[in-house]
Amino acid sequence: MSVSPQLRTLIVDDEELARALLREHLLPHREFQVTGECGNGFDAVKAINETKPDLVFLDIQMPKLDGFEVLELLDHQPAIVFVTAHDEFALRAFEVHAVDYLLKPFRRERFDAAVLRVLERMRNPRRDYREVTESARPPGAYTERIVVRDGVKLHVVPMDRVDYFRAEDDYIAIHTAGKELLKQQTLSSLEKRLNPKQFVRVHRSAIVNIQRIVRIEPYSKDSKMVLLSTGAQIPVSKSGLEALEKALG
């Protein structure tokens, strides 16, 4: 991608003073044009997909959706510079191929260095965020919620409200509170993010919330199924039964 005369830039931070500081630091850099601001993750997803900026300065810890969850929901993929007060997110930021990571409070010289990195990155192709966000969580840190886009709506589902997940080709069907939500993701990639003490893959096409299991019943001569408190019946493979028995211990 060639560098345009002005790179359309979106600022996302839930603190107004932080947004103002970023605007001020960008003023001397005429290669950048601030085209908008957002104060939360929901607005950021909408603005990025609709206005298609070249660059986003993105806070990580925000109400409703954090910065990493914003990336999962993007169709348009701009360059990303994370801006946060929490250094424990640094490794994750680079694992999702962010251009840079600004730790608050930062000096103007550090900001200018990030801007130079952006200009250099624009000369090279960027990878798909949806392919790399799955590996962006540190070992032992399991996801506490899952974000799903349904048309213009965004759903944030806490993991303890999920009954079970089912594979649907390149999608997963998330069953929660009597509803089914679809998300483009593989069951295997999701499984890596789930707490094994809470969720068990009972079949190649299904992962269940252990807390929803009422009992295990015969399904056929050589197979079993689990009955969930919602009334759902999920087939259990041989390896799934072993994993389930180990989890229920």
Output the CATH code of domain 7-135. 3.40.50.2300
Tell the burial category of 78 from Cβ atoms under 10 Å away from its Cβ (0-12, 13-18, 19+): buried
Distance CA 108, CA 9 (A): 18
Q: What pLDDT, on a 0 to 100 scale, did the predictor assign at position 54?
A: 94
Q: What pLDDT, on a 0 to 100 scale, did the predictor assign at position 135?
A: 47
Query: What strand order describes the sheet that includes 179-184?
Result: 179-184, 171-176, 162-168, 206-209, 199-203
Work out the average pLDDT over 164-191.
Answer: 91
Domain boundary assignment for the chain? 7-135, 145-248
Q: What pLDDT, on a 0 to 100 scale, did the predictor assign at position 75?
A: 86
Work out the average pLDDT over 57-86.
Answer: 89
Q: Is the pLDDT of residue 229 over 90?
A: yes
Q: Is the pLDDT of residue 2 over 90?
A: no
Distance CA 206, CA 210 (A): 12
Output the CATH code of domain 145-248. 2.40.50.1020
Q: What is the largest CA-CA distance in the chain?
A: 74
Q: What pLDDT, on a 0 to 100 scale, did the predictor assign at position 3?
A: 45
